[in-house]
Structure 1
């Protein structure tokens, strides 16, 4: 007989965990493991990473999930290795080899031309092995069934691109470091670079080293998280406002804060601003997001009074332990 499974007692947890996702684990599996370790009631992430990829995966808990969508638009920086001369069905090392050609030797001038060619605004065809949906179904489900469906090219921006000739397991390869706009597929970028060279390519590795203001050096891995005590895990969380770094901050007095939290617009000497993070003055706490138009502070996504109280209690507990 199997011993009965211990039921995890969930609790309110609010904040952002910067996870260094391991290779081979889906973003959702990583989220569920972290959620279980924190015993969190509510969790979500700010956009997926391929199972093959490692690196920065911001996970949101509790009140922070209200702002997770804001981070989808953030620029992201990746490091990858593209093996030249071999194309695969998935564009990475997980797929079957579909073509093999000799890879030319690339000089400094060739590298410079490639960097110029693939920097700036580009058009990119999303890969079949992706979570992008067509008629409500992820493209990878069509791909697994052997179907290729029509996709539209999308505008992307490669803000910065660094390429270097390297070897990978005895084969010529390119090391890629790219800072890109949302919706950019690095696998496709690697394939397109390989086609421009004339030999094809696929990614042997992919690591996200930054997303928005968050860098991989700030991240914790699952193994370290598991070794922590529960208070240490909670102390590893950033406050929900970490997701609002690009917002203008406005602080309201206690009476005005209460009215704002009930959904009422407030008037004040504020310049127009599209993205505002609103705080209460006493006690200091995030209230939610808003925008300012013609001197009016117009509420957006708001925290509940219960969430604010739980965050303040958690902050006090962390500082006293």
Structure 2
């Protein structure tokens, strides 16, 4: 059967965004399935899938603002800027007051430039950067203008900073953590990440992956798919 609309999934840790897309496509025999914003394997949380005719608005949904909760681990710099990579530098973490940390976070509000990480899907001469990185190669990248609307430091428990960030499209939370760690002088990386919101879609609306696996047919799945008129209404809220 044809299914057109948006499906919200709480992506589990260890899965790529493509893994979830591939699972939905094969299990429910849907020809066109895409996602609206990659989540790295270490990340969990809201993954917006577009099915059937909804793939025509994939770029539109992908461009919407997003909210994340992350855990920044100070004192360790990694090859991927997150906890999946190898530790390439380790430094002691000085005693920082919350005010000192906030001053550094304050530098990353508004329009900022980020240098895309080598472990990313951005292409250089048609080749994804992550493939070059796995070969031990590093190529010149152009910094990209991104936007941070706001942040909140939820907890400072050395060496971990629990934070929320509300940001625009193209923003790398990994790079955000890496750059803040560098500014603090001890290095840092993204230890864990949860996507809480994308546009007006929220994590508490999403299906767990276990529940998705329990569905037995496309007809059962259809009960949990947002129709295109519903998507339009939610976007206007």
> Common fold, TM-score beyond 0.5?
yes
Relative contact order, higher structure (CA 8 A, sep 6+): 2
**Matched position secondary structure for 2:14:** coil
Equivalent residue in structure 1 for 2:174, among 187, 190, 201: 187
Match status 1:70 vs 2:57: no
- Report the Cα distance in structure 1 between the residues aligned to 2:25 and 2:193, rounded to whole angstroms: 25
Q: Which has the larger radius of gyration?
A: 1
1:58 corresponds to which residue?
48
Change (3 A) 1:242 1:154: farther
2:232 corresponds to which residue?
244
1:198 corresponds to which residue?
185
- Report the Cα distance in structure 1 between the residues aligned to 2:226 and 2:135, rounded to whole angstroms: 41
- Contact 1:13–1:40 at 8 Å: present in 2 too? yes
Match status 1:49 vs 2:75: no
- Contact 1:46–1:68 at 8 Å: present in 2 too? yes
Shift of 1:197: 0.8
**Matched position secondary structure for 1:190:** helix
1:14 corresponds to which residue?
4
Match status 1:108 vs 2:98: yes
- Contact 2:9–2:208 at 8 Å: present in 1 too? yes
1:224 corresponds to which residue?
211
The answer for unaligned runs of 5 or more in structure 2 is none
- Report the Cα distance in structure 2 between the residues aligned to 1:241 and 1:19, rounded to whole angstroms: 19
- Contact 1:86–1:201 at 8 Å: present in 2 too? yes
Equivalent residue in structure 2 for 1:33, among 12, 23, 38: 23
CA RMSD in angstroms comes to 1.7
1:160 corresponds to which residue?
150
**Matched position secondary structure for 2:82:** coil
Shift of 1:36: 2.5
